[in-house]
Each structure stands twice: as structure tokens, then as C-alpha cells.
Amino acid sequence: MKGREALPDEADGGRPEGQSRHVPVMLERCLDMLAPALAEPGAVVVDCTLGLGGHSEALLTRFPGVRLVALDRDKEALRLSGERLAPYGDRAALVHAVYDELPDVLDRLDVPRVQGVLFDLGVSSMQLDEADRGFAYAQDAPLDMRMDQTTGVSAAEVLNTYPPGELVRILRAYGEEKQAKRIVSAVVREREKEPFTNSARLVELIRDALPQAAKRTGGNPAKRTFQALRIEVNGELSVLERAIPAAVKALAVGGRIAVLSYHSLEDRLVKQVFAAGAANTAPPGLPVVPERYQPRLKLLTRGAELPTEEEVAENRRAAPARLRGAERIREESAE
């Protein structure tokens, strides 16, 4: 999965103008952040969210001595990016996996440590632009939303079968939707008449359910509900909770990690993992801090970096992006 979440574009009616479907978000900044760790020949960099392969291609081009390991749970993304990266031959290993499976993938490839890791979270441009995937609320489509369509429950199954209280929790926790109870009451009422199958009916229901004041702000009123359903269907936050610490652990000393997030839930989780790694964990009052308590990460960003105004103008899907980076500065004592 490759995150250019595109919520502003969906509200404007679908695909962005020009070539922004294929433009990797904050590309040069990500490359610059990872560059000091990828200078040595034989360095391994992991693209945990391959998508259409834009970031991976740039990594292979800019750093001719690196080997790439790239993961994606979407088989169609792997097929398309495989064609794109074919000229790089055996420098690129493409793997069908969810990114919390990174330790297993590296173990199978006999790669004990890596020098760089990149995450570009969220849903990919390809998934948004292909109507039959059901991610975009601006076009009618089957309510699927699975990034890997070979497994798991669809968004329609979530809407039609989850208890009302669980649906309210999901909309509040994953969509930060203040009108969750109102929307869920309408969903429960309507699903008893006929199960939900397509996105247009859900969008219309949300518009009808919300008070006028709530419809005047924040873009398309369906945006938060669709985000919440997508996160639930794909287990995105629980996967991320496992994946970021695993990626940090996979870094060699001097290795670097860069993470692009597209909403506050993702960014908060990344911030917490990085802050914990960069903290001194010694009990207060020790005259000398033993090594096991010293930070193992150095933060590479002050807060989260934002895309430039110029980039957002060229690629509106970059607008919600937040970039954080960290460098591994010591091993964990228990490793």
C-alpha cells in the first residue's frame, strides 16, 4: 500500500490533474533523509509500501549501490511495479506481504540488518483511481476497500454485520467522526431494509444523516466514515503498531527510517515510537547513565515536516502528508 491519501482530491471529484497520480509524495526530501545511510555499496533499503514503485525506482536510481526489498499486500501493485522495476534486475526483491511481516521477510531473504526503511502509508493512488476497489467516495463502486482482495472482510460486510456500538467506536476512533451515532443509526435502519453493497448509497445516507452545520465544513461529509472503514477493513493501525517498532529493530547502527503519514492517527503512532526510542530511560538521579538506558534513536525531524506549497500545488494528494525520520545510533542491550 502506498499512501497518497487524496482526501482533498476525492472531495473535488476524483483523479487529480496532470500526472500527480504517479508522483511520489515528498520524494526528494525522503531521498535526502535516507542518503547518509545508503552511501556504502551493498546497503539494503526497504520500501515497506511499494505501491506503483515511484519511491523504489527513485531509490534504485539515486543509490546505484543499494539493494532494495519492497513489500506490498496488493498483488496488482506488485505486478505493475514489477514491470517498472524490471530494468534493475536482481537489485530489487519484491515481496507479497503486509509490512508488519518485515522481520519474517528479512529472515527469508537472509538479511540480518538494513540501512534504510521507507514507509508511505495510507491508500495508494492506484487504489483510489480504480473505481471497483471502493476506496473513493466521489465515484460509485462496490464497498470493498481491501488492499489485498484475496483475504479479509470487505467494507460492505463491516457495515452490514457489525453491532451498532462497534460501528460507532470505529467511526469515532478511526475517522474522528463526531456524528458517529447519527450516521450509525441511519446505517442500521437502512441495512435492515437492504444490505449495503455500493458506495453511492452510503455517501447519500451520510449526507442525509448529518446536520447542516456539519456538512458545511471539512470537505466531503463521507470522508471520515470512508477513512474509518478502510482502516478497520485493512487493520491499518494495529499493523502499524507492530511494523514501526519492527522496522526500527531491523535497522543497523547508522541506519535511517523515514515515514510518511496521512492522518493524525498514523502520525501520532509514529511519533510515539520514535520519541520512545530517542528517550533516556534511566531512573532519575543516576550520576552516570548506563548504556542500556541511553537513547537508541536520534530524531531527524523537528516535529513532522510538511510538503512545500509548491509540491501541494503540483500534487494535491501531498496536502495531508506528514514526514518523520530517525537514525539508529546504538543497539538495544537485549539484542
Bind-site residues: 53-55, 72, 99, 120, 127
Instruction: List C-alpha distances in Å: 261 to 81, 93, 102, 220, 320.
Output: 21, 24, 18, 20, 8
CA angle 241, 218, 201 (to 5 degrees): 85
C-alpha cell at 326: 530517525
**Which residues pair with residue 117 across a beta bridge?**
46, 257
Q: CA-CA-CA-CA torsion for 107, 73, 118, 175, nearest 10 degrees?
A: -130
Three-state secondary-structure class, residue 174: helix
Residue 20 to residue 311: CA distance in whole angstroms: 10
CA angle 212, 215, 217 (to 5 degrees): 125
Binding residues for S-adenosyl-L-methionine: 53-55, 72, 99, 120, 127
Instruction: Report the chain's terminal Cα–Cα distance, integer Å.
Output: 30
